[in-house]
Structure 1
Amino acid sequence: MSGPVVVGVDGSRSSLAVVEVAAQQAERLGVGLELMQVIGWPTAGAPSAIPSWDADRTGGRASSTGALAEAERCAHSAAPGVRISREVLVGEPENVLLAESHRASLTVVGSNGTRGHGTPRNDPLAGRLSARASGPLLVVRGRPNPAGPVLLAVHGTSTLREAAEFAFAEASLRGADLVAVHLRPVVATRPYGESDVASAAEDDEDFALAETLSELSKRHPDVTLRCRRPQGRSRRVLVEASSDSQLLVVGVRGRSRFGGGLLDPAARTALHEADCPVALVRC
C-alpha cells in the first residue's frame, strides 16, 4: 500500500514522541507522513470532519498551527528525508482517524495514561480504533528495545496470514529477527471423548502455521525466524516477551457487520499491557 502514514497531533509532549515514531515508520516504508490535528466540533450532529479552511470559524486553527509546526520540526529531525503534509480538521478524533485509515499505509496513535511496569493502561482512543480501523494501526507505548526482535503473536490461523506478512515486512525493514510466539490456550482437562477432536484441530492449526511461515520465510530470506511454544498462561508470556522486543504484531479478526468488533484476549493484552509498540493488523 502506498498511502501515507497518518498520525494524530494534539500539541502534548507525548504526542511529539508519537510523531517521531510515525516519521521513522514512514521513512522505513518509503511513503509520506501526514500530520493531522483534529479539533472537536462544538455541536452535536456535526459531520465527521471538515477541511482546515473551515477551522477558522471555530477559532481552532490559530491554536493548532503552532502544534503542527512543532510536530513537523520533530518529524524532520527524526526522519529528514520524509515528505510531510499537515492538516487541521474539525470533528471527532476517532471518526476522523477511522476515515483516514481507509487510505493510510499505517495509522499511528499514542497510548494515553501512565502505568507502572506490568500494570494496564487506559487507552480509550486506541482501544476504539483497534476494533474499527480499516488498515494497520500502530499504538506507541512501552519501552521498546531497539536491538530486540519483532514479535508476532500467533493465536489461531484466522488471525495469522495478514499479521505474519506485516511482521515479516517490518522485521526486514528494521533488520531485526522475527520471533513467532504460538499462544495455544492451556486447557487443564477436556470432557470425555473430545481429546482426539481437539488434538486433530491442533494438528491442522500447526500445519497451516508451518506452511504460512515457511512461505513467508522464503519471500524474506534476510529475516531470521525463530518460533516459540511457551508453556504457561498466554497473557503472561506475551507481556514478558514484549519487554525485550521493538515491536509486537497481533492479528485482529475482521470487523462485524455493525462496523466494530470485540478484540480477542491476545489483542486486548497486547493493547493494554505490552511493553513495546503494538501493531494491530486487520485479518
Structure 2
Amino acid sequence: MFPELKDKIVLVIGSSQGIGKAVVETFLDNQAKVIAADIAYDFIELHAVSPKYFQTHLDISQEAEVLALSQQLINTNLVPDIVVDVAGISTMDFLVESKTSDFDKTYQVNTRGAYLAAKYFTNAMIAHGKKGRLIMIASQAGKNGYRGMAAYVASKHAVLGLVKTLAIETAANQILVNAVCPGIIETEMKQRERVEGGALRGLSAEEIRQEDISQVPLGRTGTPQDVANVVLFLASPLASYMTGQALNVTGGMTMH
C-alpha cells in the first residue's frame, strides 16, 4: 500500500478486462481516484460507479474521442496525475500471408492510440502543472520477434520508441514516462492467441500453453496482477528517479 497515492487521479485506458482490470483494482485498493476508460463501456460522459471510481467509453484509436475525454477531465477538475495505457489488440498470421488491414488495425490501437494518449493527456498534465506519471503497457514483443505476430511486434516496438522520446521531452516538467513489458500473461487475449496461433502451426491451444510455460525460467506464466504490481511501483514514490525505462515482467523469459 502506498498512502501517497490516496486521492491521486489515475486514468486507466483499456480497463474492462485482463491487465487493465487488475490495474484499476490495484489503484482503488490504494485509495486513488480511478477513471476507467474502455471501448466496452457505453457511457460517453463520466459515469460514477462510486465516489472514487468512474467509467467512460473511449476508443483510443479515435483522436476526436481522446481529445473529448481530455477536455472533459479538464472541465471536471479530474486532470490525471497518472495515466496508464493498457489498450491493445493483436492479430495472428504469418507476415507474408497477413492482411494489410489487420496490420493497420493493430497499429491504429496499439501505436496510434498510445501516441494520442501521450499527446493529449500529457498536455493536460503540463497545462495544469502536474508532475505526473505516464505508464505504457508495451510487451516483451517490443524487444523480440515472434512468429505469426508481425503487426503486434512492430506496434509494440514503436510504443517503446514513443516512451523513450516523450521521457526526454517531459523531463523538465517532472513527468515520468515509462513502459511495462509483460511476457506471457493469462488474459482473454492470450487464450485467443493460443487458439489462433495453434491453428497456424497445427498445434492445439493446450500444446501452445505448455510451450509457453516451457519458455519461462520461473516455470509459470504470469497473471494480470503480476503486471499491475509493477505499474503500481512505477506510479509510486519508489520510482521517482526513473524515466524512459521499459521494465520486463516476464518470469525471466526476456532479460534485456
Q: TM-score when scaled to structure 1?
A: 0.32
Give the greater-gyration-radius structure (CA).
1
Task: Identify the structure with the greater helix proportion.
Answer: 2
TM-score of the two chains, using structure 2 as the length reference: 0.34
